[in-house]
Amino acid sequence: MSGPNRVTSRRLADGREIIYVDEPGTHERLAVDERPAEERVTSGELRWDALVGDWVVIAGHRQNRVLLPPKDECPLCAHGVGSAPSEIPEDDYQVVVFENRFPSYSSESSGVEAPDPRGLFGTRPAEGRCEVVCFTSDHDSAFKNLPLPRVRTVIDTWADRTRVLGARPEVEHVFCFENRGPEIGVSLHHPHGQIYAYPYIPQRSQQLLDRAEAHLAATGRLLGADLLEAERADGSRVVVSGTHWTAYVPFAARWPLEVHLAPHRDVPDLDALDDDERDELAVVYRDLLRRLDRYHVAADGSPVAMPYISAWQQAPSKRGRDASRLHLQLMSVLRGPGKLKYLAGSESGVGGWINDVPPERTAARLREVAE
């Protein structure tokens, strides 16, 4: 782990790994998971979608997940809180990573390797890893409310897990993300994100890689760098411009609110960021999240909490790294107070996106709501 953080790896009752990431001066993590040992849930299988040339994971066990429990039954709160057993044995914590109890991908899969010579119904084990990242033990907090040292600890955690998971032989792509808000589909209110380590490159990530490699072959330059340079030169969609990072609304934004945050230096993933870049990222990223919650105003004048997906687009773990360039994609389905952007016929049926909100207007509003 980068920096002075203390990293402690332990095991839960069913054998899953739990990792505590603590800032200097924190007591050692020695608590034991006292829940009865139970059989570990395995992941399902990958099935080949021949129509689009992509894999779909079938994971029926995920239907049994806890859905938006009350605070006193939250499985991410510190041990001893409420009537439901916690996933985290300690009485308090800073940043915690643990293997998902109901994984889409894991090292133990019930799927089988069964290629179809016709190229139609092939299957394979859903190998990989799904991790939960808890940002704080405070159930009522949010990422935007974390102190800057904690934000930096989360960034270091993302970077370290990117490196460790990407080195696993079965992993092709590592995706760090946060879903916030019931409108997005979260199953737990506690402030947390996730990391998926895929045994293949998912379709959108493959599209990003294909475009990046084609641009590099044609121009000798990185597509992400050229886009960043063009957005900074235009300026109309730039939201924040720092020493190491620029946030902008993309020229062809698909979502009612979409912001890209890109480093000025060409880096393939979070692990490649240096200390100065990570320090500024903590400031700028938290600033963006705070702006989101001032973007919409209700009829009574109160701010509207913005549901969002925060998605780190990184280079694949083992190929295409010379063409790929790190950026964050921050997006929301909320186009106005009480108004959601539904992926209806055009988007879901044929992938033809329609955005009702001009990107320049979005950028202007994000600049307007700066602290």
pLDDT tens figures, 215-252: 999 999 999 999 999 999 999 999 999 999 999 999 99
Specify the 3-state DSSP secondary structure of 300.
coil
Contact 213, 323 (CB under 8 A): yes
> What mean pLDDT comes out for the span 2-9?
82
Angle, helix 275-295 to helix 148-166, in steps of 10 degrees: 110
Q: What is the pLDDT of residue 78?
A: 85
Tell me whether residue 176 is annotated as binding: no
Instruction: Please calculate the CA angle 151-156-162 and round it to the nearest 5 degrees.
Output: 130
pLDDT band at 4 (very low <50, low <70, confident <90, very high): confident
Digit-coded pLDDT (tens) for 183-192? 999 999 999 9
pLDDT band at 292 (very low <50, low <70, confident <90, very high): very high
Record the pTM. Answer: 0.96
Q: What is the pLDDT of residue 1?
A: 42
Domains of the chain: 6-199 (3.30.428.10), 205-368 (3.30.428.10)
Q: What is the DSSP letter of 114?
A: B
Tell me whether residue 74 is annotated as binding: yes
pLDDT band at 342 (very low <50, low <70, confident <90, very high): very high
Tell me whether residue 77 is annotated as binding: yes
> In the beta sheet, which residues pair with residue 198?
173
pLDDT at 154 over 70: yes
Distance CA 44, CA 170 (A): 16
Q: What is the pLDDT of residue 79?
A: 72
Distance CA 229, CA 263 (A): 11
Q: What is the pLDDT of residue 64?
A: 82
E strands, the chain, where?
A: 6-11, 17-22, 45-49, 54-58, 95-99, 123-125, 129-134, 173-180, 192-198, 238-241, 245-248, 257-263, 308-313, 327-332, 334-336, 339-340
Instruction: Please calculate the CA angle 4-279-131 and round it to the nearest 5 degrees.
Output: 65
Q: Annotated catalytic sites, by residue?
A: 192
Tell me whether residue 327 is annotated as binding: no
Q: What is the pLDDT of residue 222?
A: 98
Q: What is the pLDDT of residue 80?
A: 58
> What mean pLDDT comes out for the span 6-24?
96
Q: What is the pLDDT of residue 227?
A: 98
